[in-house]
Amino acid sequence: MKPKFDCLYFLENTAIFIIEIKRTDLSEDADSSSVYQWMKIDKSTLGITLLSFRSMDSSAQVEERFFEEGYLKFNEHDGTFIEKFNSGQHQLTNRKNAILSEPIKDSIENYLLVNSLIHQN
């Protein structure tokens, strides 16, 4: 069965997508790190890198997310993702309420399916 999820945040530039999903197919007692997942997706390959969430900060104007792999700061219009050790900095556009294209959806579903099979063994 295909994993089910909703897209909560969708930011992009010409090279990458940064997306937060909420799994809707997991049990109510599932760990929040399984339910809520941030991903960096390469646009050219649709390869997914899971971002390891560490903490967050929110205000009325700006959202911040801290990951093992870097730092994301965004508002309702745009954002910046800074990779760990400043190895890359990405200016992003916030595409709130965007509908994921079928190729992106398929890539995420496949990633989640493979990931869940790996963790079962």
- Tens digit of each residue's pLDDT, the chain (121 residues): 789 999 999 999 999 999 999 999 999 999 999 999 999 999 999 999 999 999 999 998 999 999 999 999 999 999 999 999 878 899 999 998 888 999 999 999 999 998 876 655 4
Contacts 24+ apart (CB under 8 A), 105-110: 107/41, 107/46, 107/48, 108/3, 108/5, 108/19, 108/21, 108/39, 108/41, 108/48, 109/2, 109/3
Question: What does the pLDDT read at residue 16?
Answer: 96
- Domain total in the chain: 1
Provide the pLDDT for residue 117. 64
Domain limits for position 20: 5-120
pTM: 0.91
pLDDT at 88: 86
